[in-house]
Amino acid sequence: NSKVIQTPRYLVKGQGQKAKMRCIPEKGHPVVFWYQQNKNNEFKFLINFQNQEVLQQIDMTEKRFSAECPSNSPCSLEIQSSEAGDSALYLCASSLGGTGQLYFGEGSKLTVL
């Protein structure tokens, strides 16, 4: 059973609407990752954090995607203005850092109508 908790499991949005997903990493894991898995099973790394600081992120030049991992609160991934192409499974994972294995949540499946 996954100890990385993602909510909501499913969300349905209209185009242009905001979509927000949350993730509680496994206890004691300082590193958090967000991946996007599309219907073709292609994974796209979005961003990772160590504690509250961004380690790496894709070029979010569109600025529609934002993420944060505040202390003592769940991490979150937000899409400001959803587009049909954003429909995907958004996976959160956490790790102890370094080359430690990633533990994945069950994902938040976003459908943009």
Give me the residues that bind other proteins (CB under 8 A), please: 2, 4, 6, 31, 33, 35, 40-43, 45, 48, 50, 55-56, 91, 93, 95, 97-107, 109
Instruction: Select 27 or 42, whichever has its Cβ closest to other proteins.
Output: 42
Other CB atoms within a 10 A radius of the CB of residue 57 amount to: 14
Instruction: Select 54 or 113, whichever has its Cβ closest to other proteins.
Output: 54
- Residue 111 CB, shortest distance to other proteins, in Å, is 13
Please check whether residue 90 is in contact with residue 106, taking contact to mean a CB–CB distance below 8 angstroms: no
Other CB atoms within a 10 A radius of the CB of residue 107 amount to: 21
Q: What end-to-end distance do the CA atoms of the chain give, in Å? A: 31
Instruction: Select 15 or 77, whichever has its Cβ closest to other proteins.
Output: 77
